[in-house]
Amino acid sequence: MKLNKLDRSTFTPRRIVAFVLIAAGAFAWAGQAAGQGPTIPDVSEGTSNEGEVDLRNLSLPPGLHTLTGIIGERLDRCLEVQVLQDGKPVANETISFMILVAPTKAEGQALSRETATTDEKGVASTEFTIGSKKGSYVVAAFYGDSITAQPVRFNIDARTGTWVMFLIFGLLGGLGIFLMGMELSGDGLKKAAGDRMRGILSALTSKRVLALIIGVVATAVLQSSSATTVMLVGFVSATIMNLTQAIGVTIGAKIGTTITAQLIAFNLSEYSLMLVALGFLLRVASKKKSLKQAGSIILGFGLIFFGLGVMGSSMRPLRSVPEFSEMLVSLGKRPLMGILVAVAFTAIVQSSAATIGLAIALCASGLLSLEAALPLAWGAHVGTCATALLSSLGTGREGKQVAVSHLIISVLGVVVAFPFLGYFVDGARWVTALMGSTSVARELANGHMLFTVATGILLLPFIRQVEWLTLKIIPPAKVEPLFGPKYLVDTALEVPVLALDLAHREILRMAEIVRGMMEASMEALTHPDEEAVEKIGAQDDKVDILEKAIRPFLARVASEGLDPELSSREHAFIYIVQDLEGIGDILTKEIAPVGTKLAAKGVSFSDEGLGELRQYHDKLMAKYDRVLEAVTNLDRHKAEETLQLGFKERMMERKMRRAHLERLHSDRQDSLDTSAWHLSILNNLRAMGEKLDNIARTVLEEL
């Protein structure tokens, strides 16, 4: 993406979200650098005296109690310990409190009392005022007079008053870095795949299993099921594939997302900056296209893991916030709520991978259990449908049908799997154990994989039923749509090589219309008819419509930044469109009207003159077909053959001019009456031949 070529396509919703989130993260980073952000204390565990000193109402392990407070303020809860004897509270026992650890240069930290006597419930307490510095404070409670006894320790995480704001900014910034990494790695993979992506279209078939495999491969390359589905919306709108094929590919796209999730589950945040440095070096220092593409992929994955690390670090302080922990625990008890939350979040960020990545980061930080995380991944599958639904708004009914079928598949998958959530949790843990891991993040990735594979296999035999339901919701159009581009869909801009292929298809469609005009033009000369001329003009209007659509589309493809090969192809297509449109104008404005002018004057070409024009026209039609074959197959041999025959064509035209002059010299009245029009048609046929030569030269030099 070049900064000097920004256009509407540059500001895609996902990029806008990512830019905003990164800005928030940068603000949070600046705040931390200035000493205003949260820090993560190094908390070490202590243990209480066995059966003698215990923490009251503890939900954390005995001997460890972490609290959160604001610097310079008193904690909102007392530090309490309870003395028990045989499980019963003991009163009138002395407890000593002492500040063991405080941040460097901290001042003002204090205890309301350093000794306290237990009450009838066996509880002794003190209040703690946090000092002037953020960081970790440790207060110890000793039983009895001896401070050598094993204490109970309270860990106080002291933060600034704005810690929540910077925590949010850190989380959002990490998410923005993650999204940019996803896009960068996806772009690198798309460019590395290159023309292989074109093979996906040629492999499209009604066979369900193959369609599913295509969906898996496409999503693995694009690094986004949303991108795959958005492209499907365009392809069905362009009639490149039908709804049945698109549904099969969509099911495969769901499975393809597991590859991304498995990669994200690797804890590589410690090596992320190394990957960023290596990827950046390859992009900047390498001259080979393949190495630059590899650099984009490595840099993208480095940003993905770095973003995950930033999110994990930002969220770690939440472990000491009981309300947040209770909320996450409640998600495990209320999985439906988790699904709905994930649906909303994914619809906003337009990336199911972002939701799953955030869930993995929460799992890695110890904040989220597998029971709570797995519904989030399921909700992400439904939320990602929002992208396809939005992209379908500017398409016809066919595109909307794909988006709706995507939603139906996603919802059905979750509905079918929801009653078996516990089995998926057990299965994920079992698979993870087989892999020799106990990571909750890995369990989530495996659970996500089991869900997509199981529901995909289950839904695959019911593609026809899904199609039937889709058509019930959005019936096929009954009115013939207005003429316009058939293959140019904005969603294909996600993959430039595919966008150029679609432009190629539209150019061939335009070329077929021009060919029909050429055939009709000679008939208009032979049998002058106002209606025939109007039909040729109507066809030229279609050519103009396509020309005005293809040019901006190609410009938008180029704005994404193309490698030299694709850039050359884009230029070639623009040249070909110009020449085809020029041929159409000659036919409409110069040749076709001659027939009606002849009829109005009551004259006609001589038999010899008309025969010569027919001969020239037939040669030109044969030349047009050779050029069209060269453009269709990007056949340089045919293009070279066309250029080599150009000399014979010019010799034939000169011979025809001499023959016409000889008829004039012999005072042939029919030749005298039509001479100007005869010579004009010869000139225009030659001009069309030159434009065909230009197209052949473009194929030879640019494609």
Rounded CA-CA distance 63/61 in Å is 6
Q: Say if residues 520 and 536 touch (Cβ distance below 8 Å).
A: yes
User: Which pair of tokens denotes residue 305?
Assistant: 């893991």
User: Which pair of tokens denotes residue 568?
Assistant: 């050359």
Rounded CA-CA distance 412/385 in Å is 13
Residues 290, 411 within the same domain:
yes
Of residues 223, 255, 306, 261, the one with CA closest to residue 443: 261
In a domain, 23, yes or no: no
User: Which CB contacts under 8 angstroms, 24+ apart, belong to 419-427?
Assistant: 421/335, 421/371, 421/374, 421/375, 424/374, 424/450, 424/451, 424/454, 425/370, 425/371, 425/374
Rounded CA-CA distance 429/439 in Å is 9
Lowest mean pLDDT among 11-20, 88-97, 506-515, 532-541: 11-20
Amino acid 10: pLDDT: 45
In a domain, 329, yes or no: no
The more confident residue out of 511 and 384 is 511
User: Which pair of tokens denotes residue 268?
Assistant: 């590589």
Amino acid 4: pLDDT: 38
Q: Pick the most confident of 72-86, 327-341, 410-424, 652-666.
A: 410-424
In a domain, 570, yes or no: yes
Of residues 559, 698, 561, 702, the one with CA closest to residue 642: 698
Q: Say if residues 128 and 82 touch (Cβ distance below 8 Å).
A: no
Residues 549, 694 within the same domain:
yes
Alpha helices per DSSP H over 156-288: 163-193, 196-202, 208-222, 225-237, 243-265, 272-285
Residues 574, 694 within the same domain:
yes
Residues 262, 379 within the same domain:
yes
Residue at a domain's end among 440, 473, 506: 473
> In the predicted model, is pLDDT for residue 51 greater than 90?
no
Residues 464, 395 within the same domain:
yes
Residues 595, 688 within the same domain:
yes
> In the predicted model, is pLDDT for residue 90 greater than 90?
no
Rounded CA-CA distance 136/129 in Å is 13
In a domain, 450, yes or no: yes
Of residues 583, 507, 519, 582, the one with CA closest to residue 546: 507
In a domain, 412, yes or no: yes
Of residues 353, 414, 415, 350, the one with CA closest to residue 388: 350
Amino acid 197: pLDDT: 55
Rounded CA-CA distance 580/6 in Å is 29
> In the predicted model, is pLDDT for residue 20 greater than 70?
no
Amino acid 635: pLDDT: 86
In a domain, 245, yes or no: yes
The residues pairing with 128 across neighbouring beta strands, listed in sequence order, are 111
Taking residues 414-425, what's their average pLDDT? Answer: 90
Question: In which order are the strands placed within the sheet that holds 152-159?
Answer: 64-70, 152-159, 135-143, 94-101, 115-117
Q: Which residues contact 213 (CB under 8 A, 6 or more apart)?
A: 252
Residues 463, 524 within the same domain:
no
Q: Say if residues 512 and 573 touch (Cβ distance below 8 Å).
A: no
The residues pairing with 73 across neighbouring beta strands, listed in sequence order, are none
- Percent of the chain clearing pLDDT 70 (strictly above): 77
Residues 252, 203 within the same domain:
yes
Residues 180, 145 within the same domain:
no
Amino acid 574: pLDDT: 92
In a domain, 346, yes or no: yes
> In the predicted model, is pLDDT for residue 11 greater than 60?
no
Rounded CA-CA distance 280/274 in Å is 10
> In the predicted model, is pLDDT for residue 9 greater than 50?
no
Q: Which residues constitute the domain of residue 123? A: 53-159
In a domain, 325, yes or no: no
Amino acid 24: pLDDT: 52
> How many domains does one find in the chain?
3
Residues 385, 531 within the same domain:
no
Of residues 107, 125, 98, 102, the one with CA closest to residue 41: 102
> In the predicted model, is pLDDT for residue 534 greater than 70?
yes
* Size of the chain in residues: 703
Q: Which residues contact 103 (CB under 8 A, 6 or more apart)?
A: 131, 133, 134, 135, 136, 137, 158
Rounded CA-CA distance 71/102 in Å is 12
The pLDDT confidence band at residue 550, using thresholds 50, 70 and 90, is very high
The more confident residue out of 21 and 486 is 486
In this structure, is the dihedral angle defined by the CA atoms of residues 279, 305, 172 and 1, taken in order, positive or negative? Answer: positive
Amino acid 270: pLDDT: 72
Residues 354, 292 within the same domain:
yes
Residues 627, 539 within the same domain:
yes
On the 0-12 / 13-18 / 19+ scale of CB atoms within 10 A, 279 is buried
> In the predicted model, is pLDDT for residue 412 greater than 80?
yes
CATH code of residue 520: 1.20.58.220
For the stretch 639-674, pLDDT in tens is 888 888 777 777 888 888 888 777 777 777 766 667
Amino acid 386: pLDDT: 82
- Backbone φ and ψ of 95, nearest 5°: -120, 130
Q: Say if residues 542 and 486 touch (Cβ distance below 8 Å).
A: no
CATH code of residue 69: 2.60.40.10
Of residues 104, 27, 11, the one with CA closest to residue 314: 27
Residue at a domain's end among 159, 193, 228: 159
For the stretch 566-624, pLDDT in tens is 888 889 999 999 999 999 999 888 888 887 777 777 777 777 877 888 888 888 899 99
Amino acid 148: pLDDT: 47
> In the predicted model, is pLDDT for residue 230 greater than 70?
no
For the stretch 357-403, pLDDT in tens is 778 777 776 777 888 888 988 888 888 888 778 777 766 777 788 88
Rounded CA-CA distance 392/137 in Å is 55
